[in-house]
Amino acid sequence: MLRGSKIDPRAFVNPHGTNQSAVTELAHQVIDMLIGHLSNAAQLPLQPDPGSLMMVRFPEHPQPAEVLLPLIQQVLQGAMNPAHPGYIGHMDTMPSTAAFLGELVSAATNNNMLSLEMAPFAARLEDRLMRLLAAEFGLSPQAGGVMVSGGSLANLEALALARNLRYDIAKTGLFGLPARPVILASAEAHTSLRKAAMVLGLGSEAVIALPADGNGSLTAASVAQAIIDHRAAGNDPFCVVATAGTTVLGAIDDIAGIAAVTQSAGIWLHVDAAYAGALIFSTTYRHLLNGIHHADSITFNPQKWMYVAKTCATLLVRDRSLLQRGFRVSAPYMGEDPELVNPGEINIQGTRHADVIKLWLTMQLLGRNGTAYLIDQSMLLVQQFATMLRDAGMELAAHPTTNLICFRPPAASDATVTAVQQRLHHAGSAFFSVPTWHGQRWLRSVVLNPFVDVARLQTIVSQLQAVVADAL
Amino acid sequence: MLRGSKIDPRAFVNPHGTNQSAVTELAHQVIDMLIGHLSNAAQLPLQPDPGSLMMVRFPEHPQPAEVLLPLIQQVLQGAMNPAHPGYIGHMDTMPSTAAFLGELVSAATNNNMLSLEMAPFAARLEDRLMRLLAAEFGLSPQAGGVMVSGGSLANLEALALARNLRYDIAKTGLFGLPARPVILASAEAHTSLRKAAMVLGLGSEAVIALPADGNGSLTAASVAQAIIDHRAAGNDPFCVVATAGTTVLGAIDDIAGIAAVTQSAGIWLHVDAAYAGALIFSTTYRHLLNGIHHADSITFNPQKWMYVAKTCATLLVRDRSLLQRGFRVSAPYMGEDPELVNPGEINIQGTRHADVIKLWLTMQLLGRNGTAYLIDQSMLLVQQFATMLRDAGMELAAHPTTNLICFRPPAASDATVTAVQQRLHHAGSAFFSVPTWHGQRWLRSVVLNPFVDVARLQTIVSQLQAVVADAL
Q: Which residues of chain B lie closer than 8 angstroms to A96, CB-CB?
A: 11-12
Q: Do A311 and B374 touch (CB under 8 A)?
A: no
SS3 call for B113 = coil
**pLDDT higher than 80, residue A256:** yes
Instruction: Give B15's contacts in chain A (Cβ within 8 Å).
Output: 38-42, 83-85, 94, 451
- How many Å lie between the alpha carbon of B460 and the closest alpha carbon of chain A? 17
Task: Judge whether residue A331 has pLDDT over 80.
Answer: no
Chain A residues within an 8 Å CB radius of B8: 365
Chain A nearest-CA residue for B374: A1
User: What is the C-alpha separation between A464 and A347, in angstroms, rounded?
Assistant: 46
Q: What is residue B367's predicted lDDT score, i.e. its pLDDT? A: 97
Q: Is the pLDDT of residue A31 over 70?
A: yes
DSSP state for residue A309 in the 8-state scheme: P
Give chain B positions within 8 Å (CB) of A349. 149-150, 152-153, 311
With contact defined as beta carbons under 8 Å apart, do B94 and A109 qualify? no
Residue A262, min C-alpha distance to chain B (Å) = 24
Task: Flag whether pLDDT at B309 surpasses 70.
Answer: yes
Report the residue from B41, B102, B307 with minimal CB separation from A15. Answer: B41
Of A76, A128, A171, the CB nearest to B56: A128
Residues of chain B neighbouring A111 (CB-CB closer than 8 A): 79-80
CB contact under 8 A, A121 and B28: no
Mutate which of B61, B312, B329, B336 to test chain A, going by most A C-beta atoms within 10 A? Answer: B329
- List of long-range contacts for B50-58, beta carbons under 8 Å, 24+ apart: B50/A120, B50/A121, B50/A124, B50/B78, B51/A121, B51/B77, B51/B78, B53/A121, B53/A124, B53/A125, B53/A128, B55/A364, B56/A125, B56/A128, B56/A129, B56/A132, B56/A360, B57/A132, B58/A132, B58/A136, B58/A363, B58/A367, B58/A368
Contact state of A112 with B38 under an 8 Å Cβ cutoff: no
Average pLDDT score over chain B? 95
Q: What is the mean pLDDT of residues B263-275?
A: 98
Round to whole Å and give the CA distance between B36 and B69: 13
- Confidence class for position B335, pLDDT limits 50, 70, 90: low
Q: Give tens-digit pLDDT for B295-304.
A: 999 999 999 9
What is the chain B residue with the closest CA to A455?
B1
Q: Given a cut of 70, is residue A307 above it in pLDDT?
A: yes
Is the Cβ pair B374, A10 closer than 8 Å? no
Q: How confident is the model at residue B3 (pLDDT cuts 50, 70, 90)?
A: confident
**Region A85-91: what's the mean pLDDT?**
95
Specify whether the backbone of A55 is left (phi greater than 0), alpha (psi in -120 to 50) or beta: left
Q: Give me the interface pTM, i.e. the ipTM.
A: 0.97
- Residue-level pLDDT at A338: 64
pLDDT tier at A334, thresholds 50, 70, 90: low
Q: What is the DSSP string of B26-76?
A: HHHHHHHHHHHHHHTGGGS-SS----PPP--S--SSPPPGGGHHHHHHHHH
- Give how far B252 is from chain A: nearest CA, Å: 18
Which chain A residues have a beta carbon less than 8 Å from that of B80?
109, 111-112, 117-120
Model confidence band, residue B53 (pLDDT cutoffs 50, 70, 90): confident
| Residue B336's pLDDT band (cuts 50, 70, 90) | low
Q: B365 vs A334: CB contact, 8 Å cut-off?
A: no
Architecture in CATH of B106-362:
3-Layer(aba) Sandwich (3.40)
Set of chain A residues whose Cβ sits within 8 Å of the Cβ of B31: 24, 27-28, 31, 104
At B356 the pLDDT is 98
- C-alpha A236, offset from chain centre: 29
Instruction: Say if strands B443-446 and B404-408 run parallel, antiparallel, or are unpaired.
Output: antiparallel
Q: What is the DSSP letter of B336?
A: -
Residue A179 burial by Cβ neighbours in a 10 Å radius (0-12, 13-18, 19+): middle
Identity of the residue in B4, B48, B105 whose CB atom sits nearest the CB atom of A72: B105
pLDDT at residue B417 is higher than 70: yes
Query: Which chain A residues have a beta carbon less than 8 Å from that of B110?
Result: 82, 92-95, 100, 309-310
Percentage of chain A beyond pLDDT 70 is: 98
pLDDT tens, position by position, A259-303: 999 999 999 999 999 999 999 999 999 999 999 999 999 999 999
Closest CB to A203 among B35, B68, B171: B171
Give the chain A residue whose CA is nearest to the CA of B155: A349
Note the pLDDT of residue B16.
97
CA-based nearest residue to A15, from B92, B91, B278, B93: B93
Q: Domain locations in chain A?
A: 20-81, 106-362, 369-471
Mean pLDDT throughout B355-380? 97
Q: Which one of A68, A351, A369, A453 makes the best mutation probe of the B interface by having the most chain B beta carbons within 10 Å?
A: A351
Its CATH class, for the domain covering A369-471, is: alpha beta
Nearest chain A residue to B75 by CA distance is A121
Give yes or no for residue B334 having a pLDDT over 90: no
pLDDT tens for A141-189 read: 999 999 999 999 999 999 999 999 999 999 999 988 889 999 999 999 9
State the average pLDDT over residues B389-418. Answer: 97
Quote the DSSP letter at residue B94. Answer: P
What is residue A337's predicted lDDT score, i.e. its pLDDT? 65
Whether pLDDT at A5 is above 80: yes
pLDDT of residue B54: 66
A292/A273 Cα distance (integer angstroms): 9
- pLDDT above 90 covers a percentage of chain A that reads 93
Candidates A15, A20, A357; nearest CB to B42: A15
Whether A48 shows a pLDDT value over 80: the answer reads: yes
Mean per-residue pLDDT over chain A, rounded: 95
Average pLDDT over residues A422-429: 94
Q: What is the mean pLDDT of residues A373-395?
A: 98
Query: What residues in A contact B102, CB-CB < 8 Å?
Result: 72
Q: Return the pLDDT at B331.
A: 75
Contact B24 A13 (CB under 8 A): no
User: Does A173 contact B201 at a Cβ distance shorter than 8 Å?
Assistant: yes
Q: CB–CB of A82/A430 below 8 Å?
A: no
Q: Which helix (H) or strand (E) holds B185?
A: strand B180-186
Answer with the residue of higher pLDDT: A52 or A199.
Answer: A199
Question: Is the per-residue pLDDT at B279 higher than 90?
Answer: yes
Kindly list the residues from chain B whose CB atom is less than 8 angstroms away from the CB atom of residue A112: 80, 90, 92, 310
Percent of chain B with pLDDT over 90: 92
What is the mean pLDDT of the segment spanning B55-62?
91
Q: Between chains, do A365 and B2 touch, taking CB under 8 Å as contact?
A: no
Nearest to A364 among B47, B55, B171 (CB): B55
Q: Residue B260 pLDDT more than 70?
A: yes
Same fold, B106-362 and B369-471: no
Q: Do residues B47 and B430 touch, judged by C-beta distance below 8 A?
A: no
Q: Does B51 score more than 90 pLDDT?
A: no
Q: Check CB contact under 8 Å for A110 and B95.
A: yes
- Tell me what pLDDT residue A240 has: 98
Q: Contact B28/A31, CB-based, under 8 Å?
A: yes
